[in-house]
Amino acid sequence: MRKISWRIVPAMFSALLLWSCDNPKQVTYEVDPKTGALMELSLPGDTAMNWIMRADGSQYEWVDARYGWGLGQFFAKGTEKFWEIPVKVWTSGEGMSAVYQVDGIEINVSRSWDKEGNLKETYRFTNTSDEKAELSDIAINTPFNDNYPDARTCYEARCNAHLWDGEDDAYVFCTRMSGAEGGLGLVLQEGAIDGYEVRERSSQTGSSNFRGVIQLNPRDKVLNPGESYTVSWLIFPASDWNDFQTKAIANGLVMAQADSYVAEVGDTLSVSFRSNQPTLKGRLLLNGKEVAIVSGADIHYTTTVQAPGEQVFTLLYNEDKKRTRVECLGISDYDTLVNRRCQFIARHQQFNKPGDPRDGAFIVYDNETESLYVNGETGRARSDCDEARERVCMGILLARQYQRTSDPELMHALGKYVKFVRRIQMADYKTFSTPDFKSKHRGYNYPWVADFWFTMFQVTGDRKYLKDGYGTLRALVRHFKHGFYCINIPTYGYTLLKDNGFTAEADTLLADFKAMADTFYENGPYYPTSEVNYEQSIVAPSIIHLLNVYLLTGDNKYLQGAESQLPLLESFGGRQPSYHLNEIAIRHWDGYWFGKDQVWGDTFPHYWSTLTGVAYRLYAKATGKQEYAERAMNIFRNNLCLFTEDGRGSCAYVYPQKVNGKKAHFYDPFANDQDWAMVFWLEYGVAKQ
């Protein structure tokens, strides 16, 4: 093989965009002639999908050449250093290599195809200085094309990137947002990935419609003079998650998983590690303590949860030189968790100030200051922290829990809350987020308030609440017609009205519900933009409502409409071995809009991921496909990590290691709107009755 090397000459390099080799290529790429970074990753015959963002400003002006695939940065001697322009490039018929020099560190990036036509990338960091080099916070740009211009573009040409920072067995699997077969996999083959981060997250750079520039974080490394550190991975097509896992294992990955990721104390957790190494030997640790010596290509381990808290199973193998893990969670008792949360709300999250129109409201609680966050009291008022909106879920939760426990403390709090909710509605049921009627007139408020009124009827038997629920839903239609993609439309209100003699009102609501479902059916996957251009909580509510109307009417049209959209919803959820991630839908802005720290970035979990669970549960009920009921339960259980054993809540877990260069990976201190997860747990989960 002839090798050619030269200093970068853009005019010469620009002709060398697509490398060729003798093997049929399963993945092809395009190179930026100035940086040596990738501008495009595609699958043969697929002209619509570029799996990565173009880093030339053409797709997003802030995603420029700095963020090309394969470039990146690290810290050394306390300074952040970037590799951006190569000093040398080699090319051949089998691939390419670009060399970057950053002070005393040489970064050699090479690309070639294996015998199957899969793309192998290798990053070799070499200390060319005379001193020891400590490399930390290494970040390699992997800007997957996971962003949200509009529903049609997402359907045709965007992907959902599911990342697992599984140390020596890290991977990424990208699914098409359309849910169609044919994804892109990345599996680590050498080195370790200990996390990932996102860049360019702000109100000016995409806001809620841009997941960010994703970067993978190799493990920190100390290099002696002349020493090298190598990170390499393989990129290949896979038709679906099962195909990806099969190919990942065939290419040397140890694939970890659990039968379930959250369990009560006294129940069992079972984990497994699958590989193509029949002679694999290692040690299994639970929270750092050795619990078993294991061996074989298919390792299984079961244990009983002894105490609440995180249960991290770590597999050490290859003489402890390699490691990967499964992340599970123990909970004292599901009923206890719900009860403590409801008591905390009643005792600590109700605003009590007689004469103030906000009196009785359930509002945000700051877990750092141990106090209520009264919106606008110490600074500007935030619409995401006002007195109502998503926080209506606390009233619904307490009402449903009262049905189960008859706890007088909850009823006392509910009595005050009923009076507050009446103050956010006009006489004709026009509904606002604050009692001064100066807040945004928001369509989402209506189904939530109607749900609260219907639940209060179930609690008290007082028929006025049926009228309130009906009036609220009729006001929704007056103001927003039948085309608004509401979250959690309480279709059960039809049955309550009908069973209690309100036949005309029930028929009117059913006509409205059908008209909404007809709109969702006709739109299909081309959803209108809402507060966000395209998101899981537009897709899931469409499916949920279609299924609910199918269950009410038996009209197969609505079931078909839901089934046609189900693959889009499934595409949002990954299968990574962690209670933070497994089947949890990708969301990436709610830590900013509802959190105290207002940090953008992936929120795993965020409570609206339970909407996927609701959709799965209803689909199982409609079709008898119980695997969807099991998947739903997994989602509901995983979201319970948003609540602590003493009853506190967190609105979101900001998952990346860093966002815009600042440390993340934390539960936000605000208990804000997360209680929808517990509402759905009571409605669809397995809390003991």
Q: What is the per-residue pLDDT across 355-392, written as a single tens digit (0 to 9) for each?
A: 999 999 999 999 999 999 999 998 889 999 999 999 99
Question: What is the residue whose two structure tokens read 């370790």?
Answer: 192
Q: Using the 3D structure, point to which of 282, 297, 331 is the last residue of a domain.
A: 331
φ/ψ of 276, rounded to 5, equals -105, 25
Task: Please check whether residues 337 and 305 belong to one and the same domain.
Answer: no
Span 185-203, average pLDDT: 98
Distance separating alpha carbons of residues 147 and 126, to the nearest angstrom: 34
Strand partners, 357: none
| Mean pLDDT confidence for 633-647 | 98
Pair (395, 291) in one structural domain: no
Is the same domain home to 42 and 95? yes
In a domain, 529, yes or no: no
C-beta of residue 409 within 8 angstroms of C-beta of residue 688: no
Angle of helix 392-405 versus helix 334-348 axis, rounded to 10: 120
Q: Are 6 and 16 in contact (CB under 8 A)?
A: no
> Is residue 608 a contact partner of residue 546, using CB atoms and an 8 Å limit?
no
C-alpha torsion sign, points 7, 10, 13, 18: positive
Greatest Cα pair distance, the chain, in angstroms, is: 87
Please indicate, yes or no, if residue 88 is contained in any of the structural domains.
yes
First-to-last alpha carbon distance for the chain, in angstroms, is 72
What is the rounded distance in angstroms from the CA atom of residue 454 to the CA atom of residue 452? 6
Listed range (31-35, 305-309, 544-548) with the worst mean pLDDT: 31-35
User: pLDDT-derived band of residue 547, with 50, 70 and 90 as boundaries?
Assistant: very high
Give the 3-state secondary structure of residue 272.
strand
Distance CA 91, CA 97 (A): 6
CATH number at residue 246: 2.70.98
Backbone angles phi, psi at 236, to 5 degrees: -155, 160
Per-residue pLDDT tens for 67-93?
Answer: 999 999 999 999 999 999 999 998 887
Q: Which of 253, 286, 319 is the last residue of a domain?
A: 253
Distances (CA, A) of 600 to 160, 211, 592: 17, 9, 5
Residue 405 pLDDT > 50: yes
Do residues 196 and 657 make contact, with C-beta atoms less than 8 angstroms apart?
yes
The amino acid at 237 = P
Question: From residue 301, how far is each of 258, 274, 286, 314, 638 by CA, in Å?
Answer: 9, 12, 11, 11, 20
Q: Is the pLDDT of residue 689 over 50?
A: no
Is residue 673 within 8 Å of residue 391, measured between CB atoms? yes
pLDDT at 54 over 60: yes
Mean pLDDT across the chain, nearest whole number? Answer: 95
| 187 inside domain | yes
Q: Mean of the pLDDT values across residues 526-534?
A: 96
598 located within any domain: no
- Residue 308 and residue 455 in one domain: no
Q: Rounded to the nearest 10 degrees, what angle do helices 556-571 and 536-553 cross at?
A: 160
Does residue 688 fall inside a structural domain?
no
The pLDDT confidence band at residue 20, using thresholds 50, 70 and 90, is very low
| Residue at which a domain ends, from 306, 331, 356 | 331
pLDDT over 70, % of the chain:
96
Q: How far apart are CA 683 and CA 88, in angstroms?
A: 61
Q: Give the pLDDT band of residue 24 (cuts 50, 70, 90).
A: confident
Same domain, 309 and 220: no
Whether residue 58 is found in the same domain as residue 204? yes
The count of structural domains within the chain is 3
For residue 407, tell me if it sits in a domain. yes
Tell me, what's the pLDDT at 287?
98
Is residue 410 within 8 Å of residue 342, measured between CB atoms? yes
Is the model's pLDDT at 185 over the cut of 60? yes
User: Given a cut of 70, is residue 487 above it in pLDDT?
Assistant: yes
> What one-character-per-residue DSSP string does 416-430 give?
HHHHHHHHTB-TT--
Instruction: Give the pLDDT of residue 328.
Output: 98
Number of C-beta neighbours around residue 353 at 10 A: 11
In the chain, helix, strand, coil percent, each to 5?
Answer: 30, 30, 40
Q: What DSSP assignment string belongs to 563-597?
A: HHHHHHHHHTBB--SBTTTBTPBP--SHHHHH-SS
What's the half-sphere exposure (Cβ side, CA atoms, 13 Å) at 2? 1
User: 402: domain CATH number?
Assistant: 1.50.10.10
User: Rounded CA gap, 661 and 613, in Å?
Assistant: 33
Q: Are residues 185 and 132 in the same domain?
A: yes
Strand, coil or helix: 659: strand
**8 A C-beta contact, residue 145 and residue 261:** no
DSSP string for residues in 101-161: EETTEEEEEEEEE-TTS-EEEEEEEEE-SSS-EEEEEEEEE--B--B-S-HHHHHHH-EEE
Is residue 687 over pLDDT 80? no
* pLDDT tier at 3, thresholds 50, 70, 90: very low
Same domain, residue pair 308 and 247: no
Q: Is 686 or 555 the better-scoring residue by pLDDT?
A: 555
Concatenating the DSSP letter of every residue in 491-538 gives THHHHHHHHTT-HHHHHHHHHHHHHHHHHHHHHTT-PPP-SSSS-HHH
Element holding 457 (H helix, E strand)? helix 445-460
Residue 62 has pLDDT above 90, yes or no: yes
Nearest C-alpha neighbor of 236 from the set 333, 316, 142, 117: 117
Kindly tell me if the per-residue pLDDT of 21 is higher than 50.
no
Per the listing, tokens 């990967």 go with 324
Residue 408 is part of which domain span? 333-480
Lowest mean pLDDT among 54-68, 534-548, 586-600, 673-687: 673-687
| Mean pLDDT to the nearest integer, 7-12 | 36
Total length of the chain: 689
Q: Which tokens sit at 355? A: 């004469």
Long-range CB contacts (< 8 A, 24+ apart) of 9-15?
A: 10/34, 13/89
What is the pLDDT averaged over residues 187-205?
98
Answer yes or no: are the C-beta atoms of 54 and 38 closer than 8 Å.
Answer: no
Same domain, 276 and 374: no
Residue 480 has pLDDT above 90, yes or no: yes
Residue 227 sits in the same domain as residue 268: no
Which residues have a Cβ under 8 Å from the Cβ of 189 and sit 6 or more positions away?
Answer: 120, 232, 233, 234, 251, 252
- Rounded to whole angstroms, how far apart are CA atoms 327 and 256? 10
Cα 559 from Cα 569, distance rounded (Å): 15
Question: In the numeric block, which tokens belong to residue 467?
Answer: 């009228």
Going by C-beta distance under 8 Å and a sequence separation of 6 or more, which residues neighbour residue 566?
179, 543, 615, 619
Q: Is the pLDDT assigned to residue 337 strictly greater than 60?
A: yes
Are residue 293 and residue 217 in the same domain, yes or no? no
Q: What is the pLDDT of residue 22?
A: 52
H-assigned helices in 32-119: none
User: Are residues 137 and 242 located together in one domain of the fold?
Assistant: yes
Query: Does residue 18 surpass a pLDDT of 50?
Result: no
Q: Tell me, yes or no, whether 246 lies in a domain.
A: yes
Q: What is the mean pLDDT of residues 594-612?
A: 98
Q: Is residue 610, in this structure, part of any structural domain at all? A: no
